[in-house]
């Protein structure tokens, strides 16, 4: 089997590529390295530094059975400050990927939506049935969803849409201005500095470990029950930001008061996945929070030892 991945130098893409190479799958990947790093791309992957908006993607996808489309501008605050670039990458870029997959006669496209599609919904746990995006990021993901529907309708293409909740684990990008909450806490606490909590810390998030979603990715390759369906990928449990803070502090054996700052724009107060749909095809998240956190901490410590942080 041959698989192509967009966003292969990013967090989820690099983890997925590693898993596929381990399983003996032939993997190629593209990334423009705007957020991701080339060193994240596992050896054995044929890497092309390319933007998803470029022409000629069809050539790169030739011979691929499946395309995972993961590349996106995906930091909510970055998207809020640049809606034009957000639409250019997440909408026009996504359509360019779908079109290239069509031209290359790829059997299936598996692409990333997001739990951000549920921003305005207050039904918890949240099923896949209704969406109410609010932020520019979420709206751009909704546009991708509609384009996938149209490609199915007019060209009979096969898609699987993945609505990731808060994925965490090794290789998660910690370099951005406002890093994902777990990485941000781990780095500051390891340095003995005061981490920042935006808002009251009562926002609740459904965290899911990256190896667990990789199990679902692998299932999508071969299990036809995943064809033309949409799946929430979360753990089905949520935890407040303050509770995460306490859990990380406890594992690290430190006690530092966080610094509270005003809430960030465009962020939902709560996320909690209804994962019955994913369970119905035989998947379940297996990694408990403590094990996942230990692995995330080991990764950050490794980066510190290499002098990268």
Among 112, 142, 296, 300, which residue interacts with ligand NAD (rule: CB under 6 A)?
112
Active-site residue flag, 137: yes
The yes or no reply on residue 251 touching ligand NAD (CB under 6 A) is no
Please select the residue that binds ligand NAD; options are 71, 91, 138, 139, rule is CB under 6 A. 71
12 binds ligand NAD (CB under 6 A): yes
Are 11 and 71 spatial neighbours (Cβ–Cβ below 8 Å)?
A: no
- If binding is defined by CB under 6 A, does position 89 make contact with ligand NAD? yes
CB 233 within 8 A of CB 267: no
Gap between the Cα atoms of 67 and 29, Å rounded: 9
Distance CA 257, CA 201 (A): 12
Q: Which is nearer to ligand NAD, 52 or 189 (CB)?
A: 52
x/- site string to ligand NAD, residues 155 to 184, per CB under 6 A?
---------x-xx-----x-----------
* 225 φψ region: left (φ > 0), alpha (ψ -120 to 50), beta (else): alpha
CA distance 287 to 299: 16
Please tell me which residue in 35, 111, 118, 137 is annotated as part of the active site. 137
73 makes contact with ligand NAD (CB under 6 A): yes
Residue range at the interface with ligand NAD (CB under 6 A); choices 65-73, 153-161, 183-191, 197-205: 65-73
Instruction: Please report whether residue 109 would count as binding ligand NAD according to CB under 6 A.
Output: no
The beta strands (E) that lie in the chain are given as 2-6, 26-31, 46-49, 66-69, 108-112, 159-164, 166-168, 196-198, 204-205, 207-209, 229-233, 239-240, 259-261
Give the one residue of 7, 18, 29, 234 binding ligand NAD; rule: CB under 6 A: 7
State the Cα–Cα distance between residues 24 and 96, nearest whole angstrom: 28
114 binds ligand NAD (CB under 6 A): yes
Residues 183, 255: Cα–Cα separation, whole Å: 17
Residues that are catalytic: 137
Applying CB under 6 A, the residues found at the interface with ligand NAD are: 7, 9-13, 30-36, 51-53, 70-74, 89, 93, 112, 114-115, 164, 166-167, 173
């Amino acid at each position: 089997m041959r698989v192509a991945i967009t966003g292969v130098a990013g967090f989820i893409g690099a983890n997925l590529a590693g898993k596929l190479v381990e399983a003996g799958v032939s993997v190629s990947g593209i990334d423009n390295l705007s957020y991701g790093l080339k060193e994240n791309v596992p050896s054995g992957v044929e890497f092309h530094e390319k933007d998803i908006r470029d022409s000629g993607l069809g050539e790169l996808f030739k011979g691929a059975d499946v395309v995972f489309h993961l590349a996106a501008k995906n930091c909510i605050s970055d998207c809020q400050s640049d809606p034009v670039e957000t639409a250019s990458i997440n909408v026009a870029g996504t359509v360019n990927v779908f079109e290239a997959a069509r031209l290359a006669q790829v059997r299936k496209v598996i692409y990333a939506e997001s739990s951000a599609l549920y921003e305005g919904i207050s039904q918890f746990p949240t099923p896949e049935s209704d969406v109410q995006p609010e932020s520019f990021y979420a709206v751009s993901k909704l546009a991708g969803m509609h384009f996938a529907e149209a490609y199915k309708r007019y060209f009979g293409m096969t898609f699987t849409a993945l609505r990731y909740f808060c994925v965490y684990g090794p290789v998660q990008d910690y370099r951005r201005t406002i890093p994902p909450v777990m990485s941000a806490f781990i780095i500051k606490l390891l340095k003995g500095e005061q981490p920042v909590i935006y808002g009251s810390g009562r926002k609740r998030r459904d965290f899911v470990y990256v190896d667990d979603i990789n199990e679902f990715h692998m299932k999508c390759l071969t299990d036809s029950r995943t064809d033309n369906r949409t799946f929430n990928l979360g753990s089905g449990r949520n935890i407040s930001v303050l509770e995460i803070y306490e859990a990380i502090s406890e594992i690290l054996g430190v006690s530092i008061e966080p610094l509270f700052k005003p809430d960030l724009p465009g962020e939902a107060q709560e996320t909690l996945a209804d994962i019955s749909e994913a369970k119905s095809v035989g998947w379940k998240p297996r990694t408990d929070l403590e094990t996942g956190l230990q692995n995330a901490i080991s990764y950050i410590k490794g980066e510190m030892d290499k002098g990268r942080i």
